[in-house]
């Protein structure tokens, strides 16, 4: 898994926001603001909990602007359905190009480690947090929020 200080691999992925499909590039987003990039294995209760917490987080409390992306190993139709079911206010991207592996969150069994990265405007990782089984708890985004606040 990438560590703070590592360059974040740039990506150009299809994603969905507000029901529309478009292309999203990490470097284009970080030219304007830092980014939070969350990786998830797919549509399961723990991933839904993390996506919902990302949607409900008050990002303005720690940064003037921030781009938030969810990235799942799924096709764009699955992304669109999941984003719509959760009414996500940020893009949900379909990782069809192996970005998960580039960020080091792919597991040996072929699944994806739930993790969130704070990427600064120079496209460098500033903070990382991994999420194990979330279960009934609210995912802890303190590391992500601190990483943004330090920028």
Domain of residue 121, CATH code: 3.40.30.10
Question: Does 144 have pLDDT greater than 60?
Answer: yes
Residue 2 resides in a domain: no
Q: Does the residue 23 lie in any domain? A: yes
Cα 5 from chain centroid (whole Å): 18
Over residues 30-44, the mean pLDDT reads: 95
- Look at residue 110 and tell me whether its pLDDT is greater than 80: yes
Residue 49: other Cβ atoms inside 10 A? 18
Do the domain assignments include residue 7? no
Note down the domain range covering 28.
12-149
Helix (H) or strand (E) holding 81: helix 76-86
Q: What is the pLDDT of residue 137?
A: 63
Is residue 128 included in any domain, yes or no?
yes
Classify residue 16: in a domain, yes or no: yes
Q: Say which range, 67-71, 91-95, 142-146, has the weakest mean pLDDT.
A: 142-146
In the chain, pLDDT over 90 holds for what percent of residues?
80
Residue 5 lies in a domain: no
Long-range contacts of 130-137 (CB under 8 A, 24+ apart): 130/1, 130/105, 131/46, 131/50, 133/46, 134/45, 134/46, 134/49, 134/50, 135/46
Residue 1 lies in a domain: no
What's the number of domains the chain is made of?
1
Q: Which pLDDT does position 135 carry in this prediction? A: 63
pLDDT at position 41 over 70: yes
pLDDT at 89: 95
* Average pLDDT value over all residues in the chain: 93
Average pLDDT over residues 134-143: 75
Q: Is the residue at 69 inside a domain?
A: yes
Position of tokens 């284009």? 28
pLDDT band at 138 (very low <50, low <70, confident <90, very high): low
**Which pTM was predicted?**
0.94
Strands 67-72 and 35-40: parallel
- The set of residues, in sequence order, having a beta carbon less than 8 Å from that of 29 and lying 6+ positions away, is 35, 67, 69
Q: Is the pLDDT of residue 134 over 70?
A: no
Mean pLDDT value of segment 24-49: 95
């Amino acid at each position: 898994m990438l560590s703070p200080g590592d360059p974040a691999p740039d990506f150009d992925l299809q994603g969905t926001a507000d029901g529309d499909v478009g292309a999203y590039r990490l470097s284009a987003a970080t030219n304007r603001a830092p980014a939070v990039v969350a990786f998830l294995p797919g549509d399961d209760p723990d991933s839904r909990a993390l996506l919902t917490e990302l949607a409900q987080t008050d990002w303005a409390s720690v940064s003037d602007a921030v781009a938030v992306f969810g990235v799942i190993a799924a096709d764009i139709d699955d992304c669109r359905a999941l984003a719509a079911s959760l009414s996500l206010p940020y893009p949900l991207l379909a990782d069809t190009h192996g970005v998960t592996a580039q960020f080091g969150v792919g597991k040996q069994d072929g699944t994806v480690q739930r993790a969130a990265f704070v990427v600064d405007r120079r496209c460098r990782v500033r903070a990382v947090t991994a999420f194990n089984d979330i279960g009934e708890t609210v995912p802890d985004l303190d590391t992500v929020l601190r990483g943004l606040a330090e920028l």
